[in-house]
């Protein structure tokens, strides 16, 4: 599968898939302890269907087997394997010191990883929910991001901070946030967000091998299936998706490259994470021939793919879950206008989370769904912005 | 519900003296030299709780080394330490003047605290890693780091080893076991713990050492670090340099009236030592105890180094506005250089003339380095190439940095 692969082709064989199908559209417990990863060993078939949890878990197993300097720790991430099971069996397979539980101290977790990175290790730490990352913010922003620069390369911070983020799970304000723009704004950080199992494994592997700190945000609503925002309808599992066919051995996807999920001529949709699937559904709902670009990496951004697409379509909408004001969409909008102004036939338009805290009871009023995307698409096709 | 007989009142801690007052140190309980027992290196923290509240001292008022903590150093080691302390003070004096002469933007002296980083820099090796805050220049000097490199950093000139990117004195010297200094206080402490954990993870024999001021122990990073150090038994020495003042806030604002800073370790199950930071021999002995403990896989030690910030916080500070003017001179634990000098003289290994000669040599050495650094240039006269501004953000520049560098025209 290459970066031009399209969404929605070649349904997977159902026999080999181990995911628990979900049809209720919500995950009130958020913690799916039944979705045990099945792809620990590189033996067996070279390609297996995986959900996103299994794909991330596979990336960690493969890298830890390959490189003794890779280790993983976080809250509940050791013996138990993490509340979302992403670090499942790492301790059992690679040893106690390679994957262990950390105190409930996000600052301490990231700081320890910085020290380990300076020593020469490649720590991968888990922040249990992105909403909990703020106690570590100073260590990420003032330390990890700046150590290479301020020491003129004497010291580096090659760490990966993994964290589940985003809404659509009835998580309320402390289990649903999308804090990506707090990191894209920081010089010295890379920010990666996969939208499917194939990229999740490839990008996590690349992040571990990267010599700079990477904030790796995992759209937890996508862990078990490509949720498209139609929450009243049954959720399809990953097994129906081409992008759930994941190499069981080492698999690297380059950081800094977007993926064109759907080619189109009418309008470009820039999106990432869960919103990739929502955008695809929104385009279908609107009956618009949209080009849907999964950014995959927010920093460094694949500006060439964006620029070429918008110059082709002449229209651009940006979809993200995070609140609109000062969200990453503001940056994308500015870049598109700077580079594609004379090609634009409608204002660049944003479909985002509202500028409110994430509300528990109003999940689907807050969460940008396919209908809002469709409305925006129709508006820009008519030359307006809303 | 029981009602108060009187309204509640809010307590705001106040120091024992303010400008115009006579210095008052009557509240200090200072053990005499030799009075504190030395526990075995494998003592359990709970067996040595009292050491968090005592004060380990070796040098007595006559300059004799006494008691169980006497490290019995040979005269050459003592002289090496004394010379490094003298050189540190000479560098501080010149760079402070250089700031007054407009040659740089900022400087921080470590006057009165020289014994700490010098002794500890001599005990640990360059293979170990120090995670300093901003008054550990003595470590670099004790290890022979070139003075001219320090000055180039202070001047942010074309030869600055860190390319003009940091405020003066925020050195970075990996080959000398000196981690890049952060201006954000306390962040280095849990990083040191992580570095030490990495050494243990790899099965190596290196240890980490870190320093934090009394004021910054109030930061969460410090407490996170102690938790991690205890939980993972990290081979690290966690120093609290209690120099009594955090800019204008006395140590009571960080909780120093309630308990000692060393005693913070107790709640984490870590061993604590409280040490006369102006006593080169006591600093040496305590550090050696902690080093042995760390290297034998028994984990971290917290050391409170009880000292006094003899100089302003920085060149931007004026202590006469918040503390008694002669508090530094009246500090009951004296000047670390004068005390080690007295000891060497008492041993018959040093004289006033030898001391004056050593001071003159240090001044000459600093002057020569100063000339070399100024030949490259002082702040604003010389600087690294502007294109280096865009380097080292990442291992490789991304398109934004390439575009922005071109926008600057470099």
User: Rounded CA gap, A32 and A51, in Å?
Assistant: 12
Closest CA to A195 of A295, A123, A309: A295
Whose CA is closest to A39, among A27, A21, A31, A51?
Answer: A51
Quote the pLDDT of residue B5. Answer: 83
**Confidence band, pLDDT 50/70/90 cuts, at residue A385:** low
CB contact under 8 A, A154 and B162: yes
Catalytic residue, from A175, A231, A251, A285: name it.
A175
| Nearest CB to A139 within list B131, B163, B187 | B187
Is B176 an 8 Å CB contact of chain A?
A: no
Tell me the average pLDDT across B87-99: 98
Report how far apart the first and last C-alpha atoms of chain B are (Å, whole number). 73
Of the partner residues B180, B190, B196, the one whose CB lies closest to the CB of residue A111: B190
3-state secondary structure of B69: coil
- Contact map slice: A 110-139 vs B, CB within 8 A: 111-116, 118-121, 123, 135, 138-139
Instruction: Find, in chain A, the residue whose alpha carbon is nearest to that of B208.
Output: A115
What value does the CA radius of gyration of chain B take, rounded to a whole number of Å?
Answer: 22
Work out the angle at residue B294's Cα, subtended by the Cα atoms of residues B289 and B299, and round it to the nearest 5 degrees.
Answer: 115
Give the tens place of pLDDT for each residue, B180-205: 999 999 999 999 999 999 999 999 99
A95 CB near a chain B CB, below 8 Å?
Answer: no
A268, two tokens: 């470009």
CB neighbours of residue B123 within 10 Å? 20
Q: What is the mean pLDDT of residues B66-84?
A: 98
CA distance A120 to A157: 9
Q: What is the reported pLDDT for A17? A: 33
Which residue has 């806030």 as its token pair? B249
Cα B392 from Cα A380, distance rounded (Å): 41
* DSSP label at residue A140: I
Q: How far is B44 from chain A (nearest CA, A)?
A: 23
The pair of structure tokens assigned to B206 is: 């290196």
Residue B361: CB atoms within 10 Å:
14
Nearest CA to CA, how far is B188 from chain A (Å)?
8
**For the stretch B201-218, what's the b/e string if a residue is b when 16 or more beta carbons lie within 10 angstroms of its beta carbon?**
bbeeebbbbbbbbbbbbe
What is the DSSP-derived secondary structure letter of residue A381?
Answer: H
Three-state secondary-structure class, residue A283: helix
Q: How far is CA A112 from CA A157, A169, B11, in A?
A: 11, 31, 36
Spatial distance between the Cα atoms of A177 and A166, rounded to a whole number of angstroms: 5
Give the one of A105, A115, A143 whose C-beta lies nearest to B224's C-beta.
Answer: A105
Nearest-CB residue to B399 (from A116, A149, A300): A300
At A14, the pLDDT band (50, 70, 90 cuts) reads very low
Q: How confident is the model at residue A386 (pLDDT cuts 50, 70, 90)?
A: low
Positions of CATH 3.40.50.970 in chain A: 47-247
Q: How far apart are CA B309 and CA A30, in angstroms?
A: 53
pLDDT of B220 > 90? The answer is: yes
Q: 3-state DSSP call for residue A191?
A: strand
Q: Are A118 and B228 a contacting pair at CB < 8 A?
A: no
For residue B186, the chain A residue with the least C-alpha distance is: A139
Judge whether residue B350 has pLDDT over 50.
yes
- Per-residue pLDDT, averaged over B68-82, amounts to 98
Cβ-contact A352, A328 below 8 angstroms: no
Whether A4 has its CB under 8 Å from any CB of chain B: the answer is: no
Residue pLDDT, tens place only, A240-270: 899 999 999 999 999 999 999 999 999 999 9
| Minimum-distance CB partner of B162 among A108, A139, A152 | A152
Give yes or no for A211 touching B (CB within 8 A).
Answer: yes
* A156 vs B contacts (CB less than 8 Å): 395
- Subunit contact B172:A300, Cβ cutoff 8 A: no
Which of B162, B198, B220 lies nearest to residue A116, judging by beta carbons? B198
DSSP string, A290-314: EEEEE-SEEES--HHHHHHHHHHHS
Q: Does the CB of A108 have a partner CB in chain B at under 8 Å?
A: yes
Task: Write down the pLDDT at residue A11.
Answer: 33
Is B238:B294 a contact under the CB 8 Å cutoff? no
Q: Which helix (H) or strand (E) holds B6?
A: none
On whether any CB of chain B is under 8 Å from the CB of A97, the answer is yes
CB B110 within 8 A of CB B137: yes
Q: Do A142 and B225 touch (CB under 8 A)?
A: no
H-helix or E-strand containing B40?
A: none
Q: CA triplet A45, A91, A223: central angle to 5 degrees? A: 60
Fold of A259-381: Rossmann fold (3.40.50)
The pTM (predicted TM-score) of the whole model is: 0.94
- Note whether B158 contacts A: Cβ–Cβ < 8 A: no
Q: What is the pairing mode between strands A70-74 and A122-126?
A: parallel
Tokens read off for B373: 């650094």
B221 touches chain A (CB under 8 A): yes
List, in sequence order, every residue forming a beta bridge with B167; answer none if it has no partner: none
CB atoms within 10 A of CB B18: 12
d(CA A262, CA A289): 9
Cα→Cα distances A356→A38, A175, A353, A372, Å:
39, 15, 8, 17
Q: What is the DSSP letter of B37?
A: -
Which of B166, B228, B399 is closest, CB to CB, to A150? B166
Residues contacting B368, CB < 8 A, separation 6+: none
A115 with B187: Cβ contact below 8 A: no
For residue B86, the surrounding DSSP H or E stretch is: helix B75-100
A299 with B398: Cβ contact below 8 A: yes
Closest C-alpha to A216, from A260, A259, A170, A253: A253
Q: Is the pLDDT of residue A236 over 80?
A: yes
Tell me if residue A175 is catalytic.
Answer: yes
**B114-123 vs B280-295: helix axis angle to the nearest 10?**
40
pLDDT the model gives residue A256: 98
Q: Compare all CA atoms of chain A with the CA of B189 and give the residue at the minimum distance.
A: A111
Rounded CA separation A362/A365 (Å): 5
Residue B9 has pLDDT above 70, yes or no: yes
CA–CA separation, B185 and B214 (whole Å) = 11
**Which has the higher per-residue pLDDT, A16 or B19?**
B19
Instruction: Indicate which of B172, B180, B196, B206 best probes the interface with A, i.e. most A CBs within 10 Å of its own CB.
Output: B180
Are B62 and B314 in contact, with CB atoms under 8 Å apart? no
Q: Any CB–CB contact under 8 A between B170 and chain A?
A: yes
Does the structure show a pLDDT above 50 at A2? no
Distance CA B177, CA B199 (A): 14
Name the closest residue on chain A to residue B384, using Cα atoms: A152
CB contact B174 to A (< 8 Å): yes
- For chain B positions 188-207, those within 8 Å of chain A (CB to CB) are 189-199, 201-202
Nearest-5° Cα angle at B247, B243 to B250: 60
Tally Cβ neighbours within 10 Å of residue B6: 5
Do B194 and A156 make contact, defined as CB atoms within 8 angstroms? Answer: no
Q: What is the separation, in whole angstroms, between the first and last Cα of chain A?
A: 37
CB distance B270 to B225 below 8 Å: no
What is the layout of strands, in order, in the sheet containing A349-353?
A259-262, A290-294, A267-271, A316-323, A349-353
Tokens of B143: 């290890």
- SS3 state at A280: helix
Task: Assess whether pLDDT exceeds 80 at residue B28.
Answer: yes
Nearest CA in chain A to B219: A107
Q: Which residues, listed in sequence order, are joined to residue B240 by a DSSP beta bridge?
A: B212, B304
Whole-angstrom CA distances from A291 to A314, A369, B49 are 11, 18, 68
For residue B157, the 8-state DSSP code is -
- By Cβ distance, the residue of A119, A153, A299 closest to B198 is A119
The rounded percent of chain A whose pLDDT value lies above 70 is 88
Average pLDDT, chain B: 97
Q: Chain A contacts of B129, Cβ < 8 Å?
A: 118-119
**pLDDT tens digits for range A167-214:** 999 999 999 999 999 999 999 999 999 999 999 999 999 999 999 999
Write out the H or E segment, with its range, that includes residue A362.
Answer: none
Percent of chain B at pLDDT > 90 equals: 99
**Lookup: tokens for A114:** 């910085």
Q: In chain B, what residues touch A138 (CB-CB under 8 Å)?
A: 184, 187, 221
What is the CATH code of the structural domain delimited by A47-247? Answer: 3.40.50.970
B179 contact A CB<8A? yes
User: How far, in Å, are A162, B17, B194 from residue A107 at the CA level?
Assistant: 14, 37, 12
Give yes or no for a contact between B275 and B55, defined as CB atoms under 8 angstroms apart: yes
Separation between Cα atoms, residue A54 and residue A218, nearest integer Å: 13
The whole-number average pLDDT for the span B230-254 is: 98
B residues 114-143 closer than 8 Å to A (CB):
129, 131
- Set out the domains of chain B in order of their start, with CATH numbers: 45-314+322-379 (3.40.50.970), 385-410 (no CATH)
Across all residues in chain A, what is the average pLDDT? 91
Helix (H, G, I), strand (E, B) or coil at B109: coil
The neighbour count for residue A156, using CB atoms within 10 Å, is 20
Name every residue whose Cβ is closer than 8 Å to that of residue A43 and which is 6 or more positions away in sequence.
Answer: none
Q: Which of B130, B167, B189, B190 to mutate to test the interface with A (most CBs of A within 10 A)?
A: B190
Question: Which residues in B78-232 belong to E strands, given as ranges?
Answer: 129-131, 208-213
* Residues facing residue A160 across a β-bridge: A124, A214
Q: Looking at residue A134, what is its pLDDT?
A: 98
Please give the pLDDT value at position A384: 80
pLDDT at B3 over 80: no
pLDDT given at position A32:
44
Q: Are A111 and B193 in contact (CB under 8 A)?
A: yes
Interface test with A, best of B134, B140, B185, B201 (most A CBs within 10 A): B201
Q: Could you read off the pLDDT of A22-75 as tens digits, one per residue?
A: 333 334 344 444 444 444 444 568 999 999 999 999 999 999 999 999 999 999
Contact between B393 and A148 using a beta-carbon 8 Å cutoff:
yes
Q: Give the number of beta-carbon pairs within 8 Å between A and B.
A: 137
Residue B211 β-bridge partners: B239
3-class SS of residue A318 = strand
Residues of chain A with CATH 3.40.50.920: 259-381
> Which pLDDT value is given to residue A30?
43
Confidence of residue A7 (pLDDT cuts 50, 70, 90): very low
Mutant choice from B134, B224, B391 vs A, greatest count of A C-beta within 10 A: B224
Cβ distance B187 to A111 less than 8 Å, yes or no, reads yes
């Amino acid at each position: 599968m290459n970066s031009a692969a399209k969404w929605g082709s070649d349904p997977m064989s159902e026999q080999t898939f181990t995911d628990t199908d979900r049809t209720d559209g919500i995950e009130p417990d958020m913690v799916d302890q039944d979705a045990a990863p099945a792809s620990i060993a590189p033996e067996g078939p070279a390609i297996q269907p995986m959900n996103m949890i299994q794909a991330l878990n596979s990336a960690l197993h493969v890298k830890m087997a390959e490189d003794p300097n890779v280790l993983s720790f976080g809250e509940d991430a050791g013996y138990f394997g993490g509340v979302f099971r992403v670090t499942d069996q790492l301790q059992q397979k690679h040893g106690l010191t390679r994957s262990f539980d950390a105190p409930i101290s996000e600052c301490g977790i990231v700081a320890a990883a910085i020290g380990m990175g300076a020593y020469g290790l490649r720590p991968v730490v888990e922040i249990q929910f992105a909403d909990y990352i703020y106690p570590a913010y100073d260590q990420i922003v003032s330390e990890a991001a700046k150590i290479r620069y301020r020491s003129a390369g004497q010291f580096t911070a090659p760490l990966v901070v993994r964290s589940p983020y985003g809404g659509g799970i009835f998580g309320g304000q402390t289990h649903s946030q999308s804090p990506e723009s707090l990191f894209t704004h920081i010089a010295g950080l890379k920010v990666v967000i996969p939208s499917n199992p194939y990229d999740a494994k490839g990008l996590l592997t690349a992040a571990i091998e990267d010599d700079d700190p990477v904030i790796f945000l995992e759209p937890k609503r996508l862990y078990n299936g490509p949720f498209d925002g139609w929450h009243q309808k049954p959720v399809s599992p990953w097994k129906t998706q081409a992008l759930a066919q994941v190499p069981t051995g080492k698999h690297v996807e380059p950081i800094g490259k977007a993926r064109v999920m759907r080619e189109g001529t009418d309008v470009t949709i820039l999106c990432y994470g869960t919103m990739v699937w929502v955008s695809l559904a929104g385009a279908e709902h609107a009956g618009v021939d949209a080009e849907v670009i999964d950014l995959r990496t927010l920093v460094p951004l694949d500006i060439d793919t964006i620029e070429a697409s918008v110059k082709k379509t002449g229209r651009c909408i940006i979809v993200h879950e995070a609140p609109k004001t000062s969200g990453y969409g503001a940056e994308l909008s500015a870049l598109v206008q700077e580079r594609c102004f004379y090609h634009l036939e409608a204002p660049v338009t944003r479909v985002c989370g509202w500028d409110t805290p994430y509300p528990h009871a109003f999940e689907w009023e807050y969460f940008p769904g396919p209908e809002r995307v469709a409305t925006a698409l129709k508006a820009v096709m008519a030359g307006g912005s809303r | 519900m029981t009602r108060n007989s009187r309204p509640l009142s809010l307590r705001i801690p106040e120091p024992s003296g303010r400008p115009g007052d006579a210095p008052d140190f009557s509240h200090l309980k200072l053990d005499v030299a030799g009075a504190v027992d030395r526990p075995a290196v494998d003592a359990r923290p709970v067996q040595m709780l009292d050491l968090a509240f005592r004060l380990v001292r070796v040098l007595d008022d006559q300059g004799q080394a006494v008691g169980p903590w006497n490290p019995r150093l040979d005269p050459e080691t003592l002289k090496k330490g004394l010379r490094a302390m003298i050189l540190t003070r000479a560098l501080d004096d010149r760079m402070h003047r250089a700031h007054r002469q407009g040659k740089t933007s900022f400087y921080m002296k470590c006057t009165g605290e020289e014994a700490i980083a010098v002794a500890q820099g001599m005990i640990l090796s360059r293979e170990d890693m120090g995670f300093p805050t901003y008054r550990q220049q003595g470590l670099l000097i004790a290890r022979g780091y070139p003075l001219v490199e320090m000055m180039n950093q202070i001047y942010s000139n074309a030869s600055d080893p860190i390319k003009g990117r940091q405020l003066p004195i925020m050195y970075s010297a990996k080959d000398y076991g000196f981690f890049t200094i952060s201006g954000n206080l306390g962040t280095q402490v849990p990083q040191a713990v992580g570095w030490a954990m990495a050494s243990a993870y790899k099965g190596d024999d290196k240890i980490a050492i870190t320093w934090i001021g009394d004021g910054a122990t109030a930061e969460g990073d410090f407490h996170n670090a102690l938790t991690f150090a205890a939980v993972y038994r990290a081979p690290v020495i966690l120093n609290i340099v209690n120099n009594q003042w955090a800019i204008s806030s006395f140590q009571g604002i960080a909780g120093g009236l309630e308990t000692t800073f060393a005693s913070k370790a107790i709640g984490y199950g870590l061993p604590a030592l409280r040490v006369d930071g102006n006593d080169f021999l006591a600093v040496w002995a305590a550090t050696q105890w902690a080093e042995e403990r760390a290297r034998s896989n028994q984990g971290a030690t917290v050391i409170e180094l009880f000292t006094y910030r003899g100089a302003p916080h920085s060149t931007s500070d004026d202590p006469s506005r918040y503390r008694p003017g002669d508090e530094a001179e009246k500090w009951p634990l004296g000047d670390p250089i004068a005390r080690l000098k007295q000891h060497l003289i008492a041993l018959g290994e040093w004289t006033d003339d030898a001391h004056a000669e050593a001071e003159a040599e240090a001044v000459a050495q600093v002057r020569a380095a100063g000339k070399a650094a100024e030949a490259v240039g002082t702040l604003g006269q010389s600087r690294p190439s502007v294109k280096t501004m865009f380097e080292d953000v990442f291992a490789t520049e991304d398109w934004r940095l390439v575009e922005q560098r071109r926008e600057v025209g470099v």
